[in-house]
Amino acid sequence: MRCEESKKYLDTYIDGELEAGLMLEVETHLSECRACSSLVLLGRRMRKELRSLGRVQAPDHLRRRVLTLSGRGRRARLVAAAIAVPLAAAAALLIVLGPPLRGGSDDGPVAGLLDDVVQRHARDLPMEVKASDPAEVSSWFRGKVDFPVVAPALTLANASFEGARLSNVQSDQAAHMTYSVDGHRVTLMIFNPRAVALSGGRRVKVDGRDVLLGHRHGYNVAVLLDGDLAYALSSDLPESRLVSLIRSIH
């Protein structure tokens, strides 16, 4: 893939809405192209700034403009209008529009699991064991949890292991690990899913394995169900990036 083609997909890639085949092509190009990688970092920074503004009161003239628009193409015209208003007004416009539509739902019994996993990630708790090699912490968990722990090495560019600690997911014990990926913190929770509600949610097949996807409180979550264990990744990275990370868990 060349830069001209890659740039057509970068916004969709950053938003985590690119289909799997194209996602892999774009990521391959990004691993080799510093210019396009810089555009991705800029796009993520802009989105982060928008989120940090919180809820903003839309100006009266923007509200009037929204109310006068109707029919097909309304969303496209609103987005085009946002380019001409200040950043705070653009944030208010996003509040009016709401999040992009996605298939499935993060509500129902699985919502409790997603909320719990995201809460562990958002608290950024200190690690009890710090290491650069995930193999170093596997033995540390022996006798502390009632299942074997193999800390995955996320074999992707710009991914590194940081440490681990004991934690829990709802009422079940869990191995809690952190990674740095593209400068973003990624939390991995490994637990036995027998005691948690996993019904509902959006599910996809990744390399023949069931993966549950969710978005809670500004963070994306991907939960891999692999035999008797569940691997839950949470981060502010795009959903497509989490799916790539899931692929490296064996």
> How does pLDDT run across 148-162, given as a tens digit for each residue?
888 777 765 677 889
pLDDT at residue 183 tops 80:
yes
Question: Between the ranges 41-45, 63-67, 183-187, 212-216, where is the mean pLDDT highest?
Answer: 183-187
pLDDT at 25: 82
Q: Are residues 147 and 219 in the same domain?
A: yes
pTM of the model: 0.56
Domain assignment present for 105: no
Q: How far apart are CA 18 and CA 12, in angstroms?
A: 6
Best CA proximity match to 201, nearest among 130, 111, 119: 111
pLDDT at 168: 86
Is residue 222 very low, low, confident or very high in pLDDT (cuts 50, 70, 90)? very high
Q: Are residues 26 and 82 in the same domain?
A: yes
Domain hosting residue 92, numbered range: 3-97
pLDDT at residue 75 tops 60:
no
Count: domains in the chain: 2
Are the CB atoms for 190 and 177 separated by under 8 Å? Answer: yes
Phi, psi of 184 (to 5 degrees): -105, 140
Tokens 């999040």 -> residue: 99
pLDDT at residue 132 tops 70:
yes
Q: Could you give the C-alpha distances from 173 to 21, 123, 154, 168, 170, in angstroms and in order?
A: 36, 17, 23, 4, 8
Q: Are residues 239 and 194 in the same domain?
A: yes
Q: Which of 39, 67, 97 is the last residue of a domain?
A: 97
Q: Are residues 131 and 185 in the same domain?
A: yes
pLDDT at 196: 61
Q: How far apart are CA 211 and CA 194, in angstroms?
A: 16
Q: Are residues 117 and 224 in the same domain?
A: yes
- Residue of 52 and 33 predicted with greater confidence: 33
Q: How far apart are CA 205 and CA 208, in angstroms?
A: 5
Q: Are residues 117 and 18 in the same domain?
A: no
Question: Between the ranges 46-55, 60-69, 157-166, where is the mean pLDDT highest?
Answer: 157-166
pLDDT at residue 35 tops 50:
yes
pLDDT at 70: 53
Q: Are residues 162 and 227 in the same domain?
A: yes
